[in-house]
Amino acid sequence: VCSTEIACFANAQEDFDARNVQVLGLSGNPVETQLAWHSDIERMFDVKVEFPVIEDLAGELATGFGMIHANEAEACPIRKSFIIDPALKVRMIFEFPIRVGRSSAETLRVIDALQIIDRHEVATPSDWMPGKKVILPYGMSDEAATATYGSDWQKLSDYLKFVRLAA
What pLDDT does residue 148 have?
93
Q: What is the pLDDT of residues 6-15, one digit of tens each?
A: 999 999 999 9
For residue 91, give every residue at least 6 positions away whose Cβ sits within 8 Å of its Cβ, in sequence order, or none. Answer: 83, 84, 85, 114
Quick one: pLDDT band at residue 73, thresholds 50, 70, 90? low
Residue pair 82/92 in contact (Cβ under 8 Å)? The answer is yes
CB distance 48 to 82 below 8 Å: no
- Measured CA to CA in angstroms, residue 138 lies from 63, 98, 157 at distances of 38, 38, 11
Distance (Å, whole) CA 51 – CA 35 = 12
pLDDT at 66: 85
Query: Region 51-72: what's the mean pLDDT?
Result: 86
Q: What angle do CA 65, 2, 101 make, to 5 degrees?
A: 80
By the 8 A CB rule, do 131 and 112 touch? no
What tens digit of pLDDT does each residue of 22-55 get? 999 998 889 999 999 999 999 999 999 999 999 9
Q: What is the pLDDT, as a whole number, of residue 62? A: 87
Catalytic annotation on 2?
A: yes
Q: Is the pLDDT of residue 16 over 90?
A: yes
pLDDT score, position 63:
86
φ/ψ of residue 80, rounded to 5:
-140, 135
Q: What is the pLDDT of residue 20?
A: 96
- Strand ranges (E), the chain: 25-27, 53-55, 79-84, 90-96, 134-135, 153-157, 160-163
Candidate list 2, 61, 116, 117, residue with the active-site label: 2
**3-state DSSP call for residue 98?**
coil
CB atoms within 10 A of CB 105: 12
Average pLDDT, the chain: 92
